[in-house]
Structure 1
């Protein structure tokens, strides 16, 4: 990140002063500390870590993750009930705290499977549980039970709507999003309301309605309170500004989002689709810098997205983020004259089993534009352009 800005270690250390509210040590001392941090000889403490992250334009927990990241728990086992038992309890009107805990954990599990499960299977399961939660509203529930079951239904509606949009079912996704918005209002849940607006911003972004993105993001921030979705809403604004050619507003939005993310506690379950984890900030920034033509920063961030999204056994935790990172690597290579490398990255991005078709089509257009502009007479480039165009066609 330092090198992509063209900074020496001394220059980077000096740049820290712009992001510190208190006086820092003299230049030699600060440079010595920076070198030690880069060599891994020591880890910055609580005072210096956010200053370094701000200097490099990223979130603190993305650059310096907690030593013991909260593990994603076995959500089924932790409920103490299997699906059959939960359904049986619902059917016999036995709605107590244990049943609600099991329902909550089931919804958490489903939301945590968003990135890795087959979307069509997850839609079916999500709809089944959504129907059960909605049917509960005809039963005798306490006010707190009714509110909680409506909230859980809201999260499931958001999940199903995202999956519908990923698979190209745009009209169904919008109807489900509106249902989630109503459930969020009925349950008075800021997070559900915020994510329903975030989905509207996402839909607008992939359709090229950039002013619609900004309007939806502003509405979402007003409804979501302190929920982490506020960071993603700001990120959608930054993406829209990048595509509108408003570079200054893009940078401002990224900086606001980074600061807001730094103010939030590290999430308990980073696999939950509706939790904004620190590593996702680099994913947002990567998209912006790719679109405005900052190849060095876009490439560096894409490599970090791939690293953070890949487990020790090379399993991809966030395959859709990684696909967009590969497109970014392809764009950078194509801009620098390496068509072969660009096509390798581009084809890998389109070959993944878990895809968000509208998002993948949107980012692929960045690569397609470079190929059309610079390699129009190359047969392999033309074949890839046709592959990109096929993403937007109904299957």
Structure 2
């Protein structure tokens, strides 16, 4: 059997990479990653996946030195020796785990991420039944709210609408119970995205504005909801409102600054404004979308291997294809669309965006339309 730690240490040495650098790139605590690599703690499936992507390995769970749930078993043991049924250490670990899951969102498959969220949500429910202080109770409510919100987002990506609705309602209830307006605002914003993908652009505007009313003034939720409003206005063809929203997002993100964890789904990274501007302007039909989309692709493409692209690169290629079609740069448009579809990084909730490009190519009766439709059908088949 291949030893996980031995393989990772050998790969780091061969590639001239340090443990500290790996921890920083993968957003893990260096001490935790050291324990895993040195066999003192079993790696979770998320760690194995992250290390595989970072070092180009193909290690599996069975290469680890213990079962995947060792980490959670250790938490349970630590919890039981404390006066409270919950305990600060357990809460801190759960909070850290949620942040790790939120940072994994851009690169993890929805199915894998959902399994992890379900597992930890179940643990939070179990702790809510135990003895705890008022402060611990509120922290558990907040944790439950964030995990339910993330689960709802993944369900939307998978087009599981009934489950998404239930999760969003749970997140909103927990947010109000804990008096946590940030989570409540994200619930409105997430629902705005869902109805936007369903084509209800007017309701998407209303929900985005509701999110902005609830969101704290210095929050990522406020920026994201403003961006969502701009995208809905773009679909409605409201140019004035669209440009105003783009400007508002840029101003808000500039004042917020760059977060310590830019990959975190609920921490607005100013670099995301490039992606949002590209999509919004492309939907409005503004050729100014092209430089934004190209800059996203330039910054975020890790390699020529399409399957390793972050989702934002796939989306940027769809945006680029739309604007190139409008300018009748047809060969370039088809190439960008083909790359996005073949990457496999277009989640089900975004298939409609890829389909828009496919249909536009078919309307023009371009010779590439057959290959593009075939690639799109292949994408649909993978998700079924």
Note the alpha carbon deviations across 1:255-294, whole angstroms, 9 max, x for none.
Answer: 1111111121321111111111001111111111112222
Q: How does 1:194-343 map to 2 (within 5 A)?
A: 194-226=185-217, 227-295=219-287, 297-311=288-302, 319-343=310-334
Partner of residue 109, structure 1: 100
Q: 1:312 to 1:144 in 2, by over 3 A?
A: farther
Is the 8 Å Cα contact of residues 195 and 229 (structure 1) preserved in structure 2?
yes
Is the 8 Å Cα contact of residues 321 and 336 (structure 2) preserved in structure 1?
yes
User: 1:224 deviation in Å?
Assistant: 1.7
User: Any unmatched runs of 5+ in structure 2?
Assistant: 1-23, 36-40, 42-70
Question: Is residue 175 from structure 1 mapped to residue 166 from structure 2 by the alignment?
Answer: yes
Is the 8 Å Cα contact of residues 184 and 192 (structure 1) preserved in structure 2?
yes
* Equivalent residue in structure 2 for 1:166, among 154, 157, 171: 157
Equivalences, count:
322
Partner of residue 134, structure 2: 143
Q: 1:91 to 1:153 in 2, by over 3 A?
A: farther
Which deviates more, 125-134 or 161-170? 161-170
TM-score computed with the length of structure 1 as normaliser: 0.74
- Alpha-carbon distance in 2 for matches of 1:166, 1:314: 23
- Alpha-carbon distance in 2 for matches of 1:388, 1:316: 15
- Alpha-carbon distance in 1 for matches of 2:356, 2:29: 39
Question: Is residue 384 from structure 1 mapped to residue 372 from structure 2 by the alignment?
Answer: yes
**Secondary structure class of the residue paired with 2:289:** helix
- Alpha-carbon distance in 1 for matches of 2:307, 2:258: 21
**Secondary structure class of the residue paired with 1:263:** helix
User: 1:317 deviation in Å?
Assistant: 8.2
Is the 8 Å Cα contact of residues 309 and 343 (structure 2) preserved in structure 1?
no
Q: Which has the higher contact order (CA 8 A, sep 6+)?
A: 1
RMSD of aligned residue pairs (Cα, Å): 2.8
Q: 1:172 to 1:258 in 2, by over 3 A?
A: same
Q: 1:317 to 1:385 in 2, by over 3 A?
A: closer
TM-score computed with the length of structure 2 as normaliser: 0.76
User: 1:131 deviation in Å?
Assistant: 0.8
**Secondary structure class of the residue paired with 1:271:** coil
Q: How does 1:117-156 map to 2 (within 5 A)?
A: 117-156=108-147
- Alpha-carbon distance in 2 for matches of 1:290, 1:241: 12
Q: 1:298 to 1:127 in 2, by over 3 A?
A: same
**Secondary structure class of the residue paired with 1:130:** helix
